């Protein structure tokens, strides 16, 4: 029998006309029942012809209403709340129409048009209920027939809107293997409430009854939750060997639709992220409205997220500048699929090509620049300082000079905490960029507002430890950590880019904005947490292997040099770094010499000249450490 019913359900989708016919049959039978209930023993006094005419008139109005609202469309076995709502609205509209006709024909002798109001009420209720029940029975029968035998007992953490959306997403998926035991909510007013036949309990009660109920998984379905609370929940789930999953917020749904496949495993970014950032939306909007915005390094992790953030504002056009062909193409396709209404241009060009970059400025006339183009891998640039100078310093200098030449309103440069007391070539190159930008902004007659933003590592960015650790865990280990005591500041990519936008429209020019990165994280602890999140045990399933510090790497990063202080801003996560001033003429001359000598100087001499520009640049664990003991070239 089950196989027969499954064949009926799976092999075909019933024509909408059959559904309409069934609805009409229900409406006819409902009218007969309503008429019988109303007249009772006096039913035999009504001529059959009159009953037929009245029934035909009523059913005709319902038929028209079904047509208008298209309540018969859709696949019955997948009926959603919205479809059922449309069904009730169509029945109610027919009832209102018939009642209105009753008022108009009052006093006219048209017995086949006028229907007693009580019969109309009973008929409306019966039709709405029976058509509704028909759909629910079909849907539940199909769900019961297709439900897998092996299910997981789970709790949904959050009994609000997101929790109920999660419930709907799970129950509407025929492949779903979840048995929802209950909702968990921290709101005392919701405890003991029943939502769609499912009880709401406290976290403490859920933990006490978990063993009896054989809980295997928790789905976190809360838009705004305290980060520490999220961490505590994660820790408890890992301790009990429960899987913890997350229902993404509405803004992150694929194609704006919620479904069971949107529910994903919790990631390290979810528990290391911090409280939601409150941006000065009006100020940012005023600064971006109607503007052509250039983003260099647009295909990178930071650049692409800046682009995504910009798409939320009324910009005139976004220029996506990058030299990496494949990532730029991928970003282009992403925007075409999800933000086709925002004008943008993909521009394949290197920021080190001054002639081509000037052509871009002339053609598109940008108003604002977010400069995220840079080489950033410490060990590689330690080996190839030529590229750090050519791209990081040379590219920034070209962009800054063009910004001044073409009257760009604002130039925002992305820097790094590695620029503070640099111990490697990469950090020193970014510090030189900071010095150049800041000194240029102090020249008389400069109309461009130059802003520098400085922050630490971003979780999940290209080349960061998080994707590296994930690959190593997927391969079965070992997870490689350079040193057991190494620490880093971390921030999520969206958080960093939101603060870049905020700082970009906060400064007047020449400031270095330092972001509050929170507490530093031990990389060893990060690795252990990622192993646990993967459902594995440290030391048993996955080993952690210490490989030693890499060239140019230091144990701890700093956001401010020892001689620097900060000033507060109106945003509690953004501070202004008080750094020493530099004379532009001297800085520009030194950088000119450095760039011009790229093809002539040895690698060693290039690094020596970088140390001249940045006296606090002391190499660490590097082949250039010996240079700090020698007399610097003049």
Q: Out of 418, 430, 573, 611, which one is annotated catalytic?
A: 418
For the chain, how big is the Rg over CA atoms in Å?
33
Interatomic CA distance for residues 308 and 274, integer angstroms:
20
Interatomic CA distance for residues 183 and 201, integer angstroms:
6
DSSP bridge pairs for 488: 521
Helix (H), strand (E) at residue 574: strand 574-578
Token pair for 597: 């000598």
DSSP type of residue 155: E
The torsion region of residue 509 among left (phi > 0), alpha (psi -120 to 50) and beta comes to left
Exposed, middle or buried: residue 458 (CB in 10 Å: 0-12, 13-18, 19+)? Answer: buried
Token pair for 630: 């020698």
Token pair for 378: 């410490």
At residue 622, the 3 state secondary structure works out as coil
263-290 burial code (b ≥16 CB/10 A, e <16): beebbbbbbbbbeebebeeeebeebbee
Helix (H), strand (E) at residue 149: none
Pairing label, strands 292-296, 317-322: parallel
Under 8 Å CB-to-CB from 380, ≥6 apart: which residues? none
Other beta carbons within 10 angstroms of residue 474's beta carbon come to: 9
418 annotated active-site: yes
Backbone φ and ψ of 415, nearest 5° = -110, -160
What are the DSSP calls for 379-440, one per residue?
Answer: HHHHH-HHHIIIIIIHHHHHHHHHHHHTT-SEEEEE--GGGSS--SHHHHHHHHHHHHHHHH
Residues marked active site are found at: 418
């Amino acid at each position: 029998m089950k196989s027969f019913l499954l064949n009926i359900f799976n092999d075909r989708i019933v024509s909408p006309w059959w559904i309409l016919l069934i609805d009409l049959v229900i409406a006819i039978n409902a009218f007969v029942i309503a008429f019988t209930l109303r007249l009772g023993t006096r039913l035999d006094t009504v001529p059959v012809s009159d009953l037929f005419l009245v029934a035909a008139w009523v059913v005709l109005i319902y038929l028209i209403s079904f047509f208008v609202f298209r309540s018969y469309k859709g696949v019955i076995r997948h009926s959603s709340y919205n479809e059922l709502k449309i069904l009730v609205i169509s029945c109610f509209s027919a009832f209102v129409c018939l009642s209105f006709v009753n008022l108009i024909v009052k006093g006219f002798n048209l017995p086949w048009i006028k229907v007693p109001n009580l019969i109309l009420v009973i008929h409306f209720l019966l039709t709405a209920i029976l058509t509704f029940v028909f759909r629910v029975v079909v849907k539940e029968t199909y769900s019961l027939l297709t439900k897998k035998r092996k299910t997981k007992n789970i709790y949904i953490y959050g009994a609000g809107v997101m929790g109920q959306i999660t419930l709907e997403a799970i129950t509407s998926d025929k492949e779903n293997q979840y048995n929802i035991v209950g909702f968990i909510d921290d709101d005392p007013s919701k405890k003991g409430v029943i939502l769609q036949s499912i009880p709401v309990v406290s976290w403490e009660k859920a933990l006490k009854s978990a063993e009896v109920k054989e809980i295997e998984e928790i789905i976190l379905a809360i838009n705004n939750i305290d980060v520490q609370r999220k961490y505590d929940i994660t820790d408890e789930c890992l301790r009990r060997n429960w899987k913890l999953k997350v229902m993404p917020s509405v803004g992150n749904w694929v194609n704006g639709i919620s479904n069971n496949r949107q529910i994903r495993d919790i990631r390290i970014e979810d528990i290391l992220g911090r409280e939601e950032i409150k941006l000065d939306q009006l100020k940012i909007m005023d600064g971006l409205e109607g503007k052509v915005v250039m983003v260099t390094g647009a295909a990178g992790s930071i650049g692409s997220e800046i682009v995504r953030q910009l798409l939320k504002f009324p910009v005139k056009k976004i220029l996506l500048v990058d030299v990496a062909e494949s990532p730029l193409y991928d970003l282009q396709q992403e925007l075409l699929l999800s933000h086709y209404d925002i004008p943008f241009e993909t521009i394949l060009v290197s920021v080190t090509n001054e002639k081509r970059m000037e052509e871009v400025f002339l053609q598109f006339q940008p108003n604002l620049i977010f400069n995220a183009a840079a080489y950033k891998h410490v060990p590689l640039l330690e080996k190839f300082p030529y590229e750090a100078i050519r791209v990081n310093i040379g590219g920034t200098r070209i962009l800054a000079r063009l910004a001044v030449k073409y009257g760009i309103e604002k130039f925002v440069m992305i820097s790094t905490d590695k620029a503070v007391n640099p111990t490697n070539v990469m950090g020193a190159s970014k510090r030189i960029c900071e010095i150049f930008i800041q000194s240029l902004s102090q020249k008389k007659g400069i109309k461009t507002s130059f802003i520098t933003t400085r922050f630490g590592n971003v979780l999940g960015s290209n080349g960061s430890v998080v994707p590296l650790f994930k690959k190593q865990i997927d391969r079965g280990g070992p997870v490689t950590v350079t040193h057991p005591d190494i620490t880093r500041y971390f921030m999520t990519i969206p958080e960093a880019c939101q603060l870049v936008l905020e700082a970009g429209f906060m400064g007047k020019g020449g400031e270095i904005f330092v972001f509050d990165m929170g507490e530093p994280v031990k990389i060893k602890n990060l690795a252990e947490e990622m192993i646990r999140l993967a459902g594995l045990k440290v030391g048993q399933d996955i080993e952690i292997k210490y490989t030693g510090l890499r060239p140019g790497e230091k144990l701890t990063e700093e956001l401010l040099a020892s001689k620097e202080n900060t000033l507060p801003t109106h945003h509690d996560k953004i501070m202004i770094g008080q750094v020493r001033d530099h004379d532009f003429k001297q800085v520009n001359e030194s950088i000119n010499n450095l760039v011009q000598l790229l093809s002539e100087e040895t690698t060693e001499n290039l690094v020596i000249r970088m140390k001249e520009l940045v006296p606090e640049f002391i190499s660490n664990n590097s082949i250039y450490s010996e240079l700090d003991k020698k007399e610097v070239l003049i």
